[in-house]
């Protein structure tokens, strides 16, 4: 249980184009999902919190107009990188929050990540 | 979030127990300790979490000190596939945002 998928796994695009990344919780519903970014040899950096049916909240320094997040259903959140540039090339990872039966508190389950390369 | 401190790297022989420490001296009473690992170029994998009591599951054991200021993740019989970066995270109570530190790179050697 608690499987999260991402699509696509890899994307290469030209500078100036927009790219949409999907994050799905496959066997559970997630009111809250999170988006992270990871540059080579660095740790994950939280970008934003996505709540179903409401606007995402962004971490300080993350441009909300550049990274559009939509959480239209309890199983799907999307991240759109608008007008992508080479510096946006990174590994984008989503997570979905769920509570295990024995867990006592919510836990995040991560997707496999999306490698974005902007030429 | 309570700040966590982990050694940057550790080595472990295959088949032996791997004991990964984490210091979280500013943790408050209701904050959980979570452990994840990330194998190269994959998303982090949930391992275990706990509040006060020691916890064990099919992957690992989590030992939390009585004062809760530190914890140890134990992989009882490390294999080469356990080579990964291990993250100890203590999210702020009721917020559940994860701020990842640098983690510990565990190298399991044959």
Phi-psi region of A118 (alpha: psi -120 to 50; beta: other; left: phi over 0): beta
Q: What does the pLDDT look like over A45-65, one tens digit per residue? A: 999 999 988 899 999 999 999
Q: What does the pLDDT look like over B38-69, one tens digit per residue? A: 998 899 999 999 999 899 999 999 999 999 99
> Dihedral, CA atoms, B37, B39, B40, B44, nearest 10 degrees?
-50
- A107 to B49: CB separation less than 8 angstroms, yes or no: yes
**Beta-strand (E) ranges in chain A?**
4-7, 10-13, 19-25, 32-38, 45-51, 57-58, 67-73, 76-81, 90-99, 106-110, 114-118
Min Cα separation A115/chain B (Å): 9
Residue B101: its chain A contacts at CB < 8 A? 43
* C-beta separation of B76 from B59 below 8 A: no
Res. A3: pLDDT tops 70: yes
**Number of CB pairs, chain A paired with chain B, less than 8 A apart:** 55
pLDDT at A101: 61
Residue B81 gets which letter from DSSP?
A: G
- B45 to A91: CB separation less than 8 angstroms, yes or no: no
> Dihedral, CA atoms, B103, B33, A46, A14, nearest 10 degrees?
60
Interface of A with B in 54-93 (CB under 8 A): 91, 93
Terminal CA-CA length for chain A = 37
Identify the sign of the CA torsion A22, A28, A31, A35: negative
Q: What phi and psi values does residue A11 have, to the nearest 5 degrees?
A: -145, 135
Residues of chain B whose pLDDT is less than 50? none
pLDDT bracket for residue A1 (50, 70, 90): low
- B100 to A32: CB separation less than 8 angstroms, yes or no: no
């Amino acid at each position: 249980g608690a499987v999260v998928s991402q699509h696509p796994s890899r994307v290469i695009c030209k500078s100036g184009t927009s790219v949409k990344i999907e994050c799905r919780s496959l066997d559970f519903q997630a009111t809250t999902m999170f988006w992270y970014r990871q540059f080579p040899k660095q740790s994950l950096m939280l970008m934003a919190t996505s709540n179903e049916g409401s606007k995402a909240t962004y971490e300080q320094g993350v441009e909300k107009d550049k990274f559009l997040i939509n959480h239209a259903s309890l199983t799907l959140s999307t991240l759109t990188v608008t007008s992508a540039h080479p510096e946006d090339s990174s590994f984008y990872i989503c997570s979905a929050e769920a509570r295990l039966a024995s867990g006592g508190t919510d836990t995040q389950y991560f997707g496999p990540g999306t490698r974005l390369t902007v030429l | 979030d309570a700040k966590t401190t982990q050694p940057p790297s550790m080595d472990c022989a295959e088949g032996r127990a791997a004991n990964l420490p984490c210091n979280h001296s500013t943790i408050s009473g209701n904050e959980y300790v979570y452990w994840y690992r990330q194998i190269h170029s994959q998303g982090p994998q949930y391992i275990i979490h706990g509040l006060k009591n020691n916890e064990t599951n099919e992957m690992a054991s989590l030992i939390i000190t009585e004062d809760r200021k530190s914890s140890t993740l134990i992989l009882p019989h490390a294999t080469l596939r356990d080579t990964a970066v291990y993250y100890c995270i203590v999210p702020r109570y009721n917020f559940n945002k994860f701020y990842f530190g640098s983690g510990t790179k565990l190298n399991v050697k044959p």
